[in-house]
Structure 1
């Protein structure tokens, strides 16, 4: 079985939408296509790759450049999705490795990511890729309402 990692493109929108929904993040193709336009339009800051297996998009990974004032710049994995039927075949690992290679080309010494608590398999997957849980950090989020 061969895994092909390549940059995402607009022809991938139906597969990206389906994989994103499978991960529990419902999105319509139009909204996803608009976000894809922004990401593809900033290749110095954002990269989006897909993993193909047997001619089918099996997964995707979005990574972005994250310059910080208080510490060296890093690359963050903003999202990783691999379809249920394609898991444990190496697609996720291959996508993470391409993101790490891109991070090195950017001069980053760190790759970070966030994993949702309800993703039971995610901690084991990332730890097997050499990632460690960051102690003492919590993620805070505020939903911004309409401010007319």
Structure 2
């Protein structure tokens, strides 16, 4: 399978909005365009999409961060999604490899992510473990 992984642009908003629905976060193309304008204008954010046969089938969003507890840089994966119809075809692996490459390019030595603790996320958790991620923390959220 031929997959092109490239940097996302504002022009990818409609496709990214569709992918967010696969994660259970419905949005509109217009709202996603507004978000991507902010995200793509910030140098510490990096969004990649996977394109197969002209169709956007995956997306990964990354943020460059700095450690407080030690010297160095890490990258947090804040969104990672592959269209349900294109899973188990190596697209997620291609996105992770491209993300890891970017992380190394900017000097990061750690990648981190949070993934929901819902039963429908169990396949994602297995994917992350298979890719070398370890369960290390518990996440907390508070709405303001």
TM bracket (short chain): over 0.9
Q: How far apart are the structure 2 equivalents of 1:9 and 1:108?
A: 23
Could you list the per-position Cα deviations for residues 44-67 of structure 1 after superposition, in whole angstroms to 9, with x for gaps in the alignment? 301001001111000000011011
Counterpart in 2 of 1:52? Answer: 51
Counterpart in 2 of 1:143? Answer: 143
Counterpart in 2 of 1:73? Answer: 73
SS at match of 1:143: coil
State whether structure 2 residue 120 is matched by structure 1 residue 123.
Answer: no
Deviation, structure 1 residue 68: 2.3
Structure 1: 5+ residue stretches without partners = none
Could you list the per-position Cα deviations for residues 80-132 of structure 1 after superposition, in whole angstroms to 9, with x for gaps in the alignment? 01001100111111111111111111111100011111212011101111111
Count of matched residue pairs? 141
Question: Which is richer in helix?
Answer: 2
**Which is further off, 24-33 or 88-97?**
24-33
